[in-house]
């Protein structure tokens, strides 16, 4: 399985478009959804996922033995946290440049997929959570990962996941009276 996955990345690196499409289909959706949840931007999430997969394709030697969804999720989480940190630094040090370059949240294609106003407000409330709590809520309730898997993705102890998830839910309840 590992050899197959690595071969897929090697083939993609050598310009095999079918392999690139295979990677995008196999891993893209999970990574994109996590990046979208963390970055709050459709375009930035798409760029981040393209960047991650392209780097893995360009340098398949960095893929660990036993490539797992958790490892890819962790790489995505780390990459998004780095992007958010850079965004915050730019905002603090060069606010004028940040204002000019910042991506404004615009109704993307996903807005049409949200069925009710309630779902929109829940999404907004989740977006207002700190990045780690946001990731925990997303990984648990959308990706369906267990607490142990979430702990492996975020690099935190297993029992902490339950506590932070509870704290995040409390915050969401406060923000959404009806939730």
Residues that bind other proteins (CB under 8 A): 12-13, 17, 20-21, 23-25, 28-29, 32-33, 36-37, 42, 46-47, 49-59, 62, 71, 74-75, 78-79, 82, 109-110, 113-115, 118-120, 122-123, 126, 137-138, 140-142, 146-147, 155, 162-163, 165-166, 169, 172, 179
**Coil, helix or strand at residue 129:** coil
- Output 29 or 128, the one with its CB closest to other proteins: 29
Buried b (16+ CB within 10 A) or exposed e, 155-175: eeeeeebeebbeebbebbeee
The nearest distance, CB 36 to other proteins, in angstroms, is 5
Q: How far is the CB of 146 from other proteins (least distance, A)?
A: 7
């Amino acid at each position: 399985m590992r050899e197959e996955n690595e071969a897929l990345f090697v083939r993609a690196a050598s310009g095999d478009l079918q392999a690139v499409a295979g990677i995008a289909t196999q891993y893209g959706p999970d990574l994109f959804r996590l990046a979208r949840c963390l970055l709050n931007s459709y375009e930035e999430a798409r760029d981040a996922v393209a960047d991650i997969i392209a780097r893995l394709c360009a340098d398949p030697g960095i893929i660990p033995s036993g490539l797992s969804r958790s490892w890819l999720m962790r790489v995505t989480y780390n990459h998004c946290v780095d992007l958010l940190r850079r965004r915050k630094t730019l905002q603090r040090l060069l606010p004028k440049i940040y204002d000019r370059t910042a991506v404004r949240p615009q109704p993307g294609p996903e807005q049409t997929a949200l069925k009710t106003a309630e779902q929109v407000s829940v999404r907004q409330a989740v977006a207002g959570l700190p990045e780690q709590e946001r990731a925990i809520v997303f990984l648990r309730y959308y990706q369906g990962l267990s607490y142990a898997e979430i702990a492996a993705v975020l690099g935190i102890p297993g029992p902490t996941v339950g506590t932070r998830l509870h704290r995040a839910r409390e915050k969401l309840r406060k923000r959404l009276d009806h939730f």
